Structure 1
Amino acid sequence: MSAPGLLVAAVRSGAGKTTVTLGLMRALARRGLHVCGVKCGPDYIDPAFHAAATGRDSLNLDSWTMEPELLAQLALRASEDADIVVAEGAMGLFDGAPGAPGQTGASADIAAHLGWPTLLVMDVSGQAQSAAAIARGVALHDARVKLAGVLLNRVGSERHRRLAQEAIEAVGIKVFGALPRDGGIALPERHLGLVQAGETRELASLLDRLADRIDAHVDLDALLAAAAGGPRGVARGPLDVPRPPGGRIAVARDEAFSFFYPHLCRAWREAGAKIAFFSPLADQAPPEDCDACWLPGGYPELHAGRLAAAGSFLEGLRRFAATRPVHGECGGYMTLGRTLTDAEGRVHAMAGLLDLATSFAQRKLNLGYRRARLSSDCALGAAGDELAGHEFHYATIVSEKGPPFAAVTDAYSQEERPAGLREGLVTGSFFHAMTKKKGRR
């Protein structure tokens, strides 16, 4: 039996989804329940907070990059040995990108695919009875999505709560609770989202405070009773993702390189690959007994000086790349280049394995879904294989010379453009791979 689930969503970003989700996860875990977290859409940071709150790995589910079969397989794994799955939505519930019905990347697609009822977090600051119109609109907007009810957030007073709650309940929508305003529970942020879980001071204490608020102001028993859905009639099968780049893979992991999707790690291990983590910031080279190296994205721009001074890491990486495949995504790609300019304009020498110079002093947001067609055989697949994923970075390219890693399109155009670089056994780009497209090797 798969565990039932709930999707925590809102009509916009900034309504309090993340703090509500973390508080709910922690409160349920403190009751002794086995809780598994899920993040809708491409996101590296929130799943690490989910893991801290629940004690279990979280997973990403995304309807734009993932076929329904892969969504079902990942949801099956999320629900194994769990009592409940708590999914956190992205942006507004119905926000997504152009795509076929059910494949737009909207959190509503995930709720529809898996039958998870939605808990709508409503920031009611600046409104009262009008919240009922919004809740009713959400309930009626998409017949595929079941609205379990509403959780009021940022309530100013008992009178404020009563006005909003009575209006919402008058249109037949359940209110599970109301959280008062509290400016002291905000999570710190930086340019790619929240400060990472491992860097957040006194995270355990903060999670317990969030759980205390949920315990005090939310009907948890009613929420548990509302949970439903999950993968039904799904037999365990392989995860259709980019193939493991090797049998034993060296993966950089520290504060500079942490954007490694849990579902990729899990899929590669299920395929028989071994994962060996190492820390460039600790001046560790890729382990010599590995046959491929993966440099994930992260925040190398915040640690460029330390990376430039990490002689054992850089020399070891160059030695590794002479005989074995190395791939870098986003921050990892920047590290494979010749130079990285930090926010203060200081230029730092990087590995020099690709003819690339990047800058964080010159910033421009690049964000969105991507499809990538591999330009040549490499560690991720054969020439012509297609991957689906995304870009999210502020760093800019100062110079980029050499044959491309792939040809990419986005959600709004079929026009291909070159992306990334390849040189010998070394490849990289700002593209983050999530899945391979169906029908390809």
Structure 2
Amino acid sequence: MRGLVLAGTSSGVGKTVATLAVLRAAADAGHSVQPAKAGPDFIDPSHHAVVADRPSRTLDTWLEGDDGIRRNYHRGEGDFCVVEGVMGLYDGDGSSTAMVADALDLPVVLVVDAKAGMESVAATALGFREYAATADRDIEVVGVLAQRAHGGRHAEGIRDALPDGMTYFGRIPPTPDLEIPERHLGLHMGEEAPLDDETLAAAAEHVELDRLLATAREPPAADGPATSPKPRDSTVAVAEDAAFCFRYPATLERLRERAEVATFAPVAGDDLPECDGVYLPGGYPELHVPELADSPALDTLGDRAAEGLPVLGECGGLMALAESLTTADGERGEMAGVLPAEVEMHDRYQALDHVELRATGDTLTAGAGASVRGHEFHYSEATVDSDARFAFETVRGDGIDGDHDGLTEYETLGTYAHVHAESGAFDRFVDAL
């Protein structure tokens, strides 16, 4: 599957909208297109999925390693892949857009905000291309997609100023309807706030799709095959609704390869299904405190966890497993009460980083002494009891208390870290069922 990377000069330059316009242009032209996202984000991929009508692949060298992102890329479907970058092209020490493009040997199209520039857009693109050599990244910046650019003389000025070897791939017109509303943790999810279909289609008409398709190329295969543990005769219950919506497609794929998966929606009043283990992904439990407080699933989960049912909660899942959850406005609700912690939301984020955790003993996702890499981004703070037990020391990141992550009780583990299936954590979780 051929592909390319849409990278930004910085955060907020309009990469997501540009990516959606390219996805729409490809779909309108009858191409089977696979979206992907560099970095650990859950929100931008939800917008990709609405336009492309298939899940977006997560490509993060810290979470997956170079071989892992190659395997994950090649699990995609379609004849053309569009990878949206994270932050600016070179930003991020754990996993940057440049690192992902380097590992996949994909060409880079630079998304540049052209709102107040013409020839300066070319100068910016040239600087990003030449910087690759000094950044020790074997990447090729092949041209620009001009964001917030008018047509006519504005577009012509940008195209004509580009140096030899750099291509003009079109523009995204400055349109208020092409703005996605934001909240804490980033944009609204794709199903909540999709872009106006007609407006996106109109923007897609200004994308030079044929040039993009001609530039795309096939990445190398992974050096080694993925491990293939045997399936088990087990059922994993996975929470799936507006409160638990942060999950990587590869995670669900891995769980389904190894076990039966039964989804349930605590916010909608579903009870916990019959199962041998439970996975609570992250999401927005703070937006659904009353519904979760009244959810029969959390009551049942509390009882089953006390009986020794293995339960894994990530970030929002950790919050739902706590004694209580209090919003930034002071609304408090009782949660499952499995983990000895009171969780409170804040107006400012409490942690944002790639993380590395070292297991202090055998736990649901790692053996004693093993390291697990993940990502944390949360606005909540967990105040734990004095006798709380932790499964991990934090080698990098903040975790729950600055030094530890992985609050544990019975056979339940709650972490602020999101991990990828390539980490092996979910294989160990299934093996524990």
Provide the TM-score with structure 1 as the length reference.
0.88
Aligned 8 A contact 1:20 1:210 in 2? no
Q: Which amino acid aligns with 2:81?
A: V
Q: 2:272 is matched with which residue?
A: 286
Corresponding residue number in structure 2 for 1:314: 298
d(CA) in 2 for partners of 1:134 and 1:65? 30
TM-fit CA distance, 1:218: 2.0
Alignment pair present for 1:194 and 2:187: yes
Residues of 1 paired with 2:209 and 2:301: CA distance? 50
- Whichever residue aligns with residue 62 of structure 2, its letter is W
> Residue 166 of structure 2 is aligned with which of 173, 177, 196?
173
1:111/1:362 CA distance change after superposition, 3 Å:
closer
* Partners of 1:228 and 1:186 in 2: CA distance: 30
Q: Tell me by how many angstroms 1:26 deviates.
A: 1.9
Per-residue CA deviation, residues 78-110 of structure 1 (Å, 9 max, x unaligned), is: 2xx41101101000011111xxxxxx4011111
Aligned with 1:65: secondary structure? helix
Residue in 1 aligned with 2:59?
61
Residues of 2 paired with 1:186 and 1:153: CA distance?
12
Q: Does structure 1 conserve the Cα–Cα contact (< 8 Å) formed by 2:254 and 2:421?
A: no
Pairs within 5 Å for 1:12-411: 12-78=10-76, 81-97=77-93, 104-143=94-133, 144-156=138-150, 158-168=152-162, 170-200=163-193, 203=194, 206-215=196-205, 217-232=206-221, 237-238=226-227, 247-270=234-257, 272-288=258-274, 290-310=275-295, 312-321=296-305, 322-361=307-346, 363-401=348-386, 402-410=388-396
Conserved in 1, the CA contact under 8 Å of 2:308 and 2:410? no
Tell me the secondary structure at the aligned position of residue 245 of structure 2: strand
Match of 1:359, as an amino acid?
E
Q: Give the letter aligned to residue 404 of structure 1.
A: F
Q: Distance in 2 between matches of 1:381 and 1:207?
A: 44
Which SS does the other structure have where 1:197 is aligned?
A: coil
Please say if residues 177 and 196 of structure 2, whose CA atoms lie closer than 8 Å, have aligned partners that are also in contact.
no
Structure 1 position 193, deviation (Å):
1.1
Q: Any stretches of 5+ residues in structure 1 without a counterpart?
A: 98-103
Q: Against the structure 1 CA distance between its residues 207 and 38, is the aligned structure 2 distance closer, same or farther, given a 3 Å change threshold? A: farther
Map of 2:431 onto structure 1: none
- Counterpart code for 2:201: A
Aligned residues: 420
TM-score for the superposition, normalised by structure 2: 0.90
Instruction: After TM superposition, give the deviation of residue 406 of structure 1 in Å.
Output: 1.3
Q: Deviations over 1:221-261 (max 9, x none)?
A: 11111111323476754479xx9999321110100011111
Q: Partners in 2 of 1:234 and 1:391 — Cα distance?
A: 29
- Secondary structure of residue in 1 paired with 2:237: strand
2-side partners of 1:93 and 1:245: how far apart? 42
Deviation at 1:275, TM superposition (A): 1.4
Using the TM superposition, give the Cα deviation of residue 283 of structure 1 relative to its aligned residue in structure 2, in angstroms: 1.8
> Is the 8 Å Cα contact of residues 389 and 435 (structure 1) preserved in structure 2?
no
- Offset, 1:352: 0.9
More displaced stretch, 146-155 vs 375-384: 375-384
Write the letter of the residue equivalent to 2:24. Answer: R
Between stretches 254-263 and 28-37, larger displacement belongs to 28-37
Say if 1:125 and 1:239 are closer, same or farther in 2 by CA, change over 3 A: farther
On the 8 A contact 1:16/1:121 being kept in 2, the answer is yes
Deviation at 1:172, TM superposition (A): 4.0
Query: Displacement, 1:150?
Result: 0.6
The alpha carbon displacement at 1:436 in A equals: 6.1
Q: Give the secondary-structure state (helix, strand or coil) at the position aligned to 1:324.
A: coil
Q: Is the 8 A contact 1:281 1:307 kept in 2?
A: yes
Match of 1:101 in 2: none
RMSD: 2.7
In structure 2, give the amino acid aligned to 1:251. V
Structure-1 separation of matches of 2:30 and 2:246: 30
Classify 1:238/1:47 alpha carbon distance in 2 versus 1 (closer, same or farther; 3 Å): farther
Q: Which 5+ residue runs of structure 2 have no aligned equivalent?
A: 429-433
- Report if the CA contact (8 A) 1:244-1:268 is conserved: no
C-alpha displacement of 1:382 = 2.4
Within-5 A mapping of 1:415-430:
417-430=403-416
In 1, are the aligned partners of 2:355 and 2:417 still within 8 Å (CA)?
yes
Is the 2:356–2:395 contact (alpha carbons within 8 Å) kept by the matching residues of 1?
yes
State how far apart, in whole Å, the 2-side matches of 1:246 and 1:420 are.
Answer: 27
Task: Report the Cα distance in structure 2 between the residues aligned to 1:62 and 1:239, rounded to whole angstroms.
Answer: 21
CA shift in 2, pair 1:239/1:43, >3 Å: farther
Report deviation, 1:72.
1.6
